Amino acid sequence: MQRYKCVLSYDGTGFFGYQVQPNKRTVQGEVEAVLAKLHKGRDVKVTGSGRTDAGVHAKGQVIHFDSPLNIPNDKWVIALNSLLPADVSILTVEDAVDGFHARFDAVGKEYRYYLQLSSNRDPFMRNYAYQYPFSVNVNAMEQASVFLKGTHDFTSFCSAKTEVVDKIRTIEEIDFSFEGNLLILKFVGNGFLYNMVRILTGTLLEVGTGARTPEEMAFILEKKDRRYAGKTAPAHGLYLWKVMY
């Protein structure tokens, strides 16, 4: 039995999220169906670094699975991709040490949020960036992000629906860059709570339009109450970019 670590990318548009749900098309479900085929119908469980919601994309999701099959890593990539649908792609497969765990061994994650600052809707980006027709002050958003970086209790920036108890996380980096009319927010941290990147983005946008001041971020953090933060930005602008081990 060999444990494999596998990096994959998917277009989240056609999925009800990463995690298996009965009678729904999910990324985990598609990968497990393909692994079952390669193992003559035997169930092979796949463990991801974490869930992504319906519509959320991944450039570098990481999963692990165990297999008795003796297949070289590059052949795993070819075999999996030849059976997977076109909206999921296996990028790499490598041998992992016994006991490697895609979720518990992750030491950090990078997410990116794509905003399209335009009043013209772009049919090619409708599922890949959040079209935002208002002008934003990126400088103010950068000032706000200073309050968010570091180690904090992020209860206010977490969906109230979560079951996680410890809401202390460390954000190492919040970076802003432009590609044409796309404003890309990059978040790097040791872990992110449920909807956290989308709530951070929604709140930063409210700073960008002047509806909130950068300094309000300190107040929101302190309140430890979801109702004080801004709107949850839509799923289709979000990408799980990388998982660090």
Active site residues: 53
Element (H, E) at 80: helix 73-83
3-state secondary structure of 168: strand
Rule CB under 8 A: choose which of 20, 54, 83, 91 binds its own copies: 91
3-state secondary structure of 29: helix
Rule CB under 8 A: choose which of 24, 45, 75, 121 binds its own copies: 121
- Part in contact with its own copies (CB under 8 A); list of ranges 118-126, 147-155, 193-201, 226-234: 118-126
**86 near its own copies, judged by CB under 8 A:** yes
Q: Are 185 and 116 in contact (CB under 8 A)?
A: no
What is the C-alpha to C-alpha distance for residues 90 and 56, in angstroms, rounded to an integer?
17
Instruction: Locate 100 and state its tokens.
Output: 């490697």
* Residue where the block lists tokens 């790499």: 92
Contacts of 176 (CB under 8 A, 6+ apart): 138, 141, 142, 145, 183, 184, 185, 186
Site map (CB under 8 A) of its own copies, residues 7-36, x = contact: --xxx-------------------------
What is the C-alpha to C-alpha distance for residues 186 and 176, in angstroms, rounded to an integer?
6
Rule CB under 8 A: choose which of 123, 166, 179, 227 binds its own copies: 123
Site map (CB under 8 A) of its own copies, residues 124-163, x = contact: x-x-x-----------------------------------
CA-closest candidate to residue 204, choices 225, 184, 178: 184
What is the C-alpha to C-alpha distance for residues 217 and 196, in angstroms, rounded to an integer?
14
DSSP state letter for 237: G
Closest CB 224 distance from its own copies, rounded Å: 37
Closest CB 211 distance from its own copies, rounded Å: 24
CA-closest candidate to residue 20, choices 65, 67, 52, 42: 52
Rule CB under 8 A: choose which of 19, 47, 67, 89 binds its own copies: 89
Residue closer to its own copies (CB basis): 86 or 97 = 86
**70 near its own copies, judged by CB under 8 A:** no
Residue closer to its own copies (CB basis): 122 or 222 = 122
Rule CB under 8 A: choose which of 80, 88, 158, 238 binds its own copies: 88
**180 near its own copies, judged by CB under 8 A:** no
Residue closer to its own copies (CB basis): 11 or 206 = 11
* Residues near its own copies, by CB under 8 A: 9-11, 57, 81, 86-89, 91, 120-124, 126, 128
